[in-house]
Amino acid sequence: MRACTESAELGLFTEPAYTLHREASEHPLLLVCEHASRFIPAGLTDLGLSHEAAREHIAWDIGALALAERLSAALGATLLAANYSRLLIDLNRPLGAQDSIPAKSEIYDIPGNRDLDEATREYRRECLFKPFHDRLQTLIDQRLAQGRPVRVVGIHSFTPVYHGQPRTLEAGVLFGEAKDYAQRLLDGLSQHPVKVAGNEPYKINPLGDMTVPVHGDARGLEAVLIEVRNDLLRTPEGIDRWTDYLRPLL
């Protein structure tokens, strides 16, 4: 920890790394929202981004927290949600991944992440990444020790346009080893008038993803990420619709 005390960001992360909803839930589902927040401490001046860019998809998954909270309430399930922007450190990336602390995201340069010293990188890991994943591991450990079933589901959103290319896909179920669980979700969503696909618009990669490979597949648990296009999650009606689609399937 000595190197961390040399970070220029020392003392900036005063808010908890995460919010935990319904910790005592008996539901087997553990909801995770790694990209729930766009919060960046004021002292970091939005990492040098414009006001508009710091509120776009690069900073968080728009609509994901609202959907995760609604699902948590509807099912009475535990939800672990991040309280800081993924631009500070991405909680769904292994620490060794190139974009763990991105210097560029899509078309945006991130000046505040350029040329960070190791003390600052380690400080972010200790303040933001480690508490979140330690808590998720503990939640899983406790349930398994009680002989309870556990399913891990990350709630994410994606942009309607990526690098100038429109996306017609409306939702994706991303999975590694949990093929049967993922297929049940895909089959259920296919009963509704939505365009859905497996492992689209992204694929699970053990070298580039954290939640599914580490907390799910490596422990023999059913684990998936659900991606919903974020223009479908920008209104209360949209959140209601996707809650109704997903609630009976999870």
Q: SS3 sequence, 106-145?
A: CCEECHHHCCCCHHHHHHHHHHHHHHHHHHHHHHHHHHHH
Residue 199 burial (C-beta neighbours within 10 Å; 0-12, 13-18, 19+):
middle
Residue written as token pair 């309607």: 160
- Which residues make Cβ contacts (< 8 Å) with residue 32, sequence separation at least 6? 79, 80, 81, 136, 152, 153, 154, 155, 211, 215
Q: What is the mean pLDDT of residues 226-235?
A: 98
Q: How confident is the model at residue 3 (pLDDT cuts 50, 70, 90)?
A: low
Q: What is the pLDDT of residue 133?
A: 98
% of the chain exceeding 70 in pLDDT: 98
Mean pLDDT over 72-77 rounds to 98
What was the pLDDT predicted at 7?
77
Reported confidence tier of residue 89, pLDDT bands at 50, 70, 90: very high
176's CB contacts (< 8 A; 6+ apart) are 204, 206, 212, 213, 216, 217, 223
Q: Decide yes or no: CATH 3.20.20.10 for domain 3-246.
A: no
Q: What is the per-residue pLDDT across 139-172, written as a single tens digit (0 to 9) for each?
A: 999 999 999 999 999 999 999 998 788 999 999 9
Residue 2 has pLDDT above 60, yes or no: no
Q: Please, are residues 98 and 134 in contact by the beta-carbon 8 Å criterion?
A: no
Confidence at residue 122, expressed as pLDDT on a 0 to 100 scale: 97
Domain edges within the chain: 3-246
Which pLDDT belongs to residue 173? Answer: 98
pLDDT over 90, % of the chain:
92
- What pLDDT is stored for residue 118 in this prediction? 95
SS3 state at 19: strand
With 80 as the cut, is the pLDDT of residue 5 above it? Answer: no
Question: What pLDDT does 180 receive?
Answer: 98
Q: For residue range 17-64, list pLDDT tens digits in order.
A: 999 999 999 999 999 999 999 999 999 999 999 999 999 999 999 999
Prediction pTM value: 0.95
pLDDT at 8: 84
Segment 83-104 shows an average pLDDT of: 95
Instruction: State the chain's mean pLDDT as an integer.
Output: 95
Chain segment 105-136, per-residue pLDDT in tens:
878 899 999 999 999 999 999 999 999 999 99
